[in-house]
Chain A
Amino acid sequence: MSISIRPGRPMDASDAARAREHQQALRAELPLVREAAHSWRIGLGGLLLALVGFSLIRGPSEVDKVEPPWNVVIGCLLLVSLATGAYGAYRLLSAHNGRPRTRPVDRRTSASTQNHLLALTALKDLRHGIIATFLCTVFLVAAVGTTWYGPEKAKPKLLVRTTTGAVLCGDGATGDGRRLTLKTKPGRVGVPLSDVLVVETVEKCP
């Protein structure tokens, strides 16, 4: 790549003032980015704390009430939410405090330029941190929504075998001393108790 430098346009005092402001903006850039990262960190941290603090998901007992495979989906959503939250926190902390590592000594470039490059890195961290934290919130809300509104796990069913060889399966069993009535898929079915051979509970009707 070839680079050529030639004299530019004539300048006046206002151009010089703009150039000076530009230099001053460069010198103030890194503290501004760090300050912005601090504000975002506090704001997003508060948002997540509020969400988690509401105890939206009380633990495995609540997740277990959801029909498979939705309980697995909730587990995955929570895991991804945790991962994106941790990543977002790391990027936001890096944006505010800098990356946790030393930088090689650079005698070639000016302090302003080095700070500008650091500001660019911090800005990138800030952008990624914000996106990751919002994603964490989205996954968390999705997990909570699935827990609250997902299909409930089916209750155990009653399986009745009769002496005639018939098999009835359903729930909501009622009896009047002589007949056992079951709520089955086709409808309510009654069986004389004297014909009942076996009654057992099953997870699912065959």
Chain B
Amino acid sequence: MQAAPPAPTAAAPVVRARNLSLVFDADGQKTVALSDVSLDIAGGSFVSLIGPSGCGKTTLLRAIADLERPTSGSLVVNGLSPEQARRNRAYGYVFQAPALYPWRSVERNVMLPLEIMGMPPEERRRRAERYLDLVGLREFRRRFPWQLSGGMQQRVSIARALSFEPALLLMDEPFGALDEITRDGLNLHLHRLWRSTGMTVIFVTHSIPEAVYLSSRIVVMSPRPGKVVEIIDVDLPGERELDVRETPAFLAVAHRVREALRAGHSYD
């Protein structure tokens, strides 16, 4: 029962936020996490949300995923409300930590969403094999998560998010806890994956090089209250190798992002 997502066209963005605000109210202590955010995310694009801690980038991602409820404004995902979109399994979500279930083998972790969605066992096995292959972990499918390195575990969680073939992938600082060498490898991997599948990715990070390398668009946010400062298009070649990070074009975009971050950040 998977609703076909609408064809990604410029006219119908995958995510459309209008004057979105979100206030956390913990025992009368109000924290404004998002203030008046308006944003369109086009189908097939790779959009990074970047900003310092407390700028609401994760909150925005969680609101899109229906893990938080906006206080006001409108938010449309695939033409539906976030809750309907979630129930239609519109998106895959990759968390900061792999969040794999230790009692399930790697393969059965990838099959978890497929089981919940009621897919027949034969198809589950086929999908698990296919997506573990895609993240280069097919020969580890019988292992348990705790027998794998941190980077491998995060790749399993990406395969798990891809297994039900959502048109939208939401990633919340997925490589934040990994060392730089592992992170470089995964960035290259993710970039190729996005190029080959044509899916829409929304990626939360606070690393400028990572955002510039991966994205077709960068949304720069600022804290207290969380709002969008600037939206920067990344005019780099579609197919990117890691050494694109040393080209003048790359450094120019990185500079613009850094300037925007500085402008949005008041040192009070």
A and B: bona fide binding partners: no
* Chain A residues close to B by CB (< 8 Å): none
* Chain B residues close to A by CB (< 8 Å): none
